[in-house]
Amino acid sequence: MQWHFIDFSDSRHLVVQTGCKQRCCSTWRLQAGLGGSFWARNHLGWLLILSKIYGNVFTVYFGPRKAVVLSGYETIKDALLNHAEEFGERAEIPIFRQMTQGNGIAFSHGELWKTMRRFTLSTLRDFGMGKRTIELRILEEVNSLIKYFESYQGKPFDTKMILNNSVSNVICSILFGERFEYDDPEFLTLLKMINENTKLLASKTVLQNVSELGDFLQKLFQEHKEEFNESNLTGFVDAFLMKQQQESKKPHTMFSNRNLLFSTLDLFTAGTETTSTTVRWGLLLMMKYPEIQRKIQEEMNHVIEPGELPKLEDRKKMPYTDAVIHEIQRFANIVPMGVSRSTPRDVNFQGYVIPKGTEIIPLLTSALNDELHWKTPDQFNPSHFLDASGNFIRREAFIPFSIGRRACLGEGLARMELFLFFAGLLRKFVFQPPPGVDKSDLDLTADVGFTLNPMPHLVCAVPYK
């Protein structure tokens, strides 16, 4: 088997190398955008095209950066599950390295990553993740969000910031043991910077934002240190501070202030952006497909008591709603390239030798749109998750949280939030386009950054009767 090398370095020429002979295959006009940046708008589409030309394993150059792309569900599963150790490290991407210096959870390596991940999972469980206590916190936030939506009295408004505020308050309650008011100026600034960071990964603004985010979090850490009571731990930060005290005499403890900062920032970012963006996609899709929205509300009428909001225990009795939420995740595909992995040693994979330290891009969008697993991958179709009798069915190729050792550790929380926020809002409102905007005018094109966001739009939340 032979490697195919595709060079995007000047965003104009596609150079393909077969074996050790290099030839100019063709001249392509790629969007200059961010030069050779990984996040340039057209690169996602090009990677999908290249996978059809060169197969499910190929190498690309983003400027000077070399990466191996894995495409298609079977290939991604083979790499991340069957060869979990060989593809289990996080890639050394310069902008992330500069931001974190290898601290935290998302971009750490080796024993540090194992220790931080193990501690984080254990602590999140201790503070309610997956339990009734966190469900009550989410429902409290859903009620606050409903009141905010009601204040617009059916008039058009942008849901972006308020959904970020509301969803982030759930992770804040786990991290800090408190929530923030929606109009808190420091909180709004924090969310604005996180949102910018998911769109501007190639920009120096990101580093400035991370510095300011660090200052904001350090103030919160100091407050928790001053009020620390080991018999009354309020959240993740307190649990980390207690671990610091327990290991204070260890010369090489991993529970440093830098790891506290970046672990908290990792959890805050991951616990806000992806879930709120998915809910935004969901509301946009409900405006686009009102017949699907009506069917969800009819199902809830048979399951939920009047005046009540859906609870997690209701999900198994709401297969259509569950299918729609899963299809929103599949269709919106908000983290299309996952987060890059790397090979800790030379790897033999599907006939290829991948050198140690190679960046690996698991093209999650190729699994979520794999024609071998989805009947109509290009269409929004909740029946992808329903059998002939209307029962909910799980689909193997549904991997929006990735899979393997580096899969999203907040998947359980995100699944709870998506159901409770989305179903709760549809229980109270019918979502419609603004006056003068037809559903056919609604744009489902993605605004491309690190995540795929809906284009700016307004919604009308009309009380459901």
The domain segmentation of the chain, as residue ranges, is 100-332+409-463
When pLDDT is averaged across residues 214-242 and rounded to a whole number, the result is 92
When pLDDT is averaged across residues 287-295 and rounded to a whole number, the result is 99
The whole-angstrom separation of Cα 318 and Cα 321 is: 5
Q: Are strands 446-448 and 65-70 parallel, antiparallel or unpaired?
A: unpaired
More confident call, 207 vs 267: 267
pLDDT at residue 13 is higher than 60? no
Q: What is the pLDDT of residues 123-136, one digit of tens each?
A: 988 887 767 889 99
**CATH architecture, domain defined by 100-332+409-463:** Orthogonal Bundle (1.10)
3-state secondary structure of 243: helix
Report whether 172 belongs to an annotated binding site: no
pLDDT at residue 319 is higher than 60? yes
The whole-angstrom distance between residue 188's C-alpha and the CA centroid of its chain comes to: 20
- When the pLDDT of each residue in the chain is averaged and rounded to a whole number, the result is 87
- Rounded percentage of the chain residues whose pLDDT exceeds 70: 88
CA distances from 220 to 72, 227, 265, 311, 324 (A): 43, 11, 12, 32, 38
When pLDDT is averaged across residues 218-241 and rounded to a whole number, the result is 93
Q: What is the pLDDT of residues 34-57, one digit of tens each?
A: 333 344 455 788 889 889 988 999
The partner residues of 60 in beta bridges, in order of sequence, read 6, 67
- Tell me the pLDDT band of 198, cut-offs 50, 70 and 90: low
When pLDDT is averaged across residues 204-221 and rounded to a whole number, the result is 80
CA distances from 90 to 60, 63, 177, 362, 401 (A): 18, 20, 30, 12, 15
Q: What is the pLDDT of residues 331-344, one digit of tens each?
A: 999 999 998 999 99
The pair phi, psi for residue 103, each rounded to 5°, is -90, 170
pLDDT at residue 228 is higher than 70? yes
The whole-angstrom separation of Cα 11 and Cα 36 is: 6
When pLDDT is averaged across residues 162-171 and rounded to a whole number, the result is 95
The residue type at 460 = C
Contact 394, 257 (CB under 8 A): no
The predicted pLDDT at position 96 comes to: 78
**What pTM value is reported for the model?**
0.90
pLDDT at residue 374 is higher than 70? yes
CA distances from 333 to 336, 360, 365, 402 (A): 6, 19, 6, 11
pLDDT at residue 436 is higher than 90? yes
Nearest to 100 by CA among 263, 231, 241: 263
